[in-house]
Amino acid sequence: MTDTSLRTAASHRSLLDRLRAWHSAETPNPAKRVQFDAPLTPWLFLLPQLAVVVVFFYWPSVQAVTSSFYLEDPFGFGATFVGTDNYADALQSSQYASTALFTAFFCLVVTALSLGLGLLLAVKADKVIRGASSYKTLLISVYAIAPPVAGLIGMMIFDLHIGPLTDLAAFFGYDLQVGINYWDTAIALITISVWKQIPYNFIFFLSGLQSVPVSVREAALIDARSGWRRFRDVTLPLLAPTAFFLLVINITYAMFDTFPIIDVVVKDKPANNPITLVYKVYLDGFKGNDIGGSSAQSVILMVVVAALTVLQFRFLERRVHYG
């Protein structure tokens, strides 16, 4: 505990130092120094980016935080300050708890499966010599499919009346009811989401693998006969930066970008089907017109994502070695 707080203090100091150094013109770093004649010029260059961030991130965030403390009529005629009531309502509802639980489960499974399968395919494709490019093209091409289209294709495969997978399950005596049975729908959601994300992971893992130097591989070959050991001790650590980047991206994907897939699979009417927290924010805010409640939920989500990101960078990135 003391150790952590000390380190935080240290990093704060260094940040301040850096800021001070950045401000003073005397910084003894002539090689990297960029010169601007006027102090305003750098800000001018930053302005477009800052404007985008402010308009599309900070301003809506502030709005969301503000309206999460109010109970408001949809048309905006009157808002009553209700303190943290909206948060209490959300957190106390059993429905919210079960949605949060499913979201966690969904993120875990989708991330694990799509990272694992992406890596497996990349390792296998890396070894293929003849026809390598056609394999790669086939694997990557799925990535060109937009999430709603992926959802639609998935929905056709899982359709209650004409879905081939439903028929297949029926052949084995299982009554697959996507849209009615909670876990059947969960299976469909996970399958489609993973299928959509594998090519993305595949591309990055493959390029990561190809950047492992041949000399290192050959040296490893002398040290160990077991392919699995070589992979575990040499390839995997060298892939770590890629894997870490993909982990962050995949969790974000599972939490947010699967929205269109869910929307298509539950057909805009979730009923008892599993949904993620983001979908619930949309449901309550846009379909239910409950702005305060929906804002409170999205603030909770913001906090969770911020915490998750900090955790990832603090505990995982330290184990990652960038080349």
Partner 1 sequence: MMKTATTTLAFALMGTTVMAQTEISWWHGMGGRNGEVINEISQMFNDAQSECVLTPVSRGTYEEALSSGIAAFRSGEQPNILQVFDAGAATIIAAEGATVAAEDLITAAGEEFDREAFIAGVRNFYADSDGKFIGMPFNSSAPIMYYNVEAFEKAGVEPPKTWEEFEAVAPALKEAGYLPLTASQLTWMMVENFKSRNNQQFATNNNGYDSVEGTQILVTDENQVMMFEKLKEWADAGLFGFYGAGWADNQKPFEQGESALWIGSSGSFGGLQQTANFEFSADFMPYWDAIEGAGTQSFIGGAALFAMSGKPEAENTCTAKFFSFLTSPETQVFYHKATGYVPITEAAYELAKSEGYYDEKPVAEVGIQQLMLEGGEWSKGYRMGFYPQIRTVMEREFNRIFSNEVSVPDAFQTIEDEGNQLLERFSKTAG
| Binding footprint of partner 1 on the chain (CB under 8 A) | 71-77, 80, 89, 160-161, 177, 179-182, 267-273, 283-284, 286-290, 292-293
- Closest CB 116 distance from partner 1, rounded Å: 31
In the complex with partner 1, the residue whose CB is nearer, 208 or 270, is 270
Structure-block tokens of residue 147:
């999430």
> Residue 86: which of 99, 106, 74, 72 has the closest Cα?
72
Task: Pick the closer one to partner 1 by CB: 41 or 98.
Answer: 98
Nearest distance in Å: CB 79, partner 1: 9
Cβ proximity to partner 1, 118 vs 293, nearer residue:
293
**CB nearer to partner 1: pick between 196 and 280:** 280
For the record, the structure tokens of 175 come out as 């009554």
Give the largest Cα separation in the chain, rounded.
78
Closest CB to partner 1 among residues 13, 267:
267
Of the pair 182, 231, the CB lying nearest partner 1 is at 182
- Cα 153 versus chain centre, distance: 22
Neighbours of 241 (CB within 10 A): 15
Task: Provide, rounded to whole angstroms, the least separation between the CB of residue 214 and partner 1.
Answer: 54
CB of 50 to partner 1, least distance (A): 23
- Tell the smallest beta-carbon distance from residue 167 to partner 1 (Å): 15
DSSP 250-292: HHHIIIIITHHHHHHHTTT--TTS---HHHHHHIIIIIS--HH
Token pair, residue 234, equals 């040499």
- The minimum distance between CB 289 and partner 1, in angstroms, equals 6
HSE value, Cβ hemisphere, 13 Å, CA-based, for 131: 5
Residue 87 phi, psi dihedral angles, 5° rounding = -65, -45
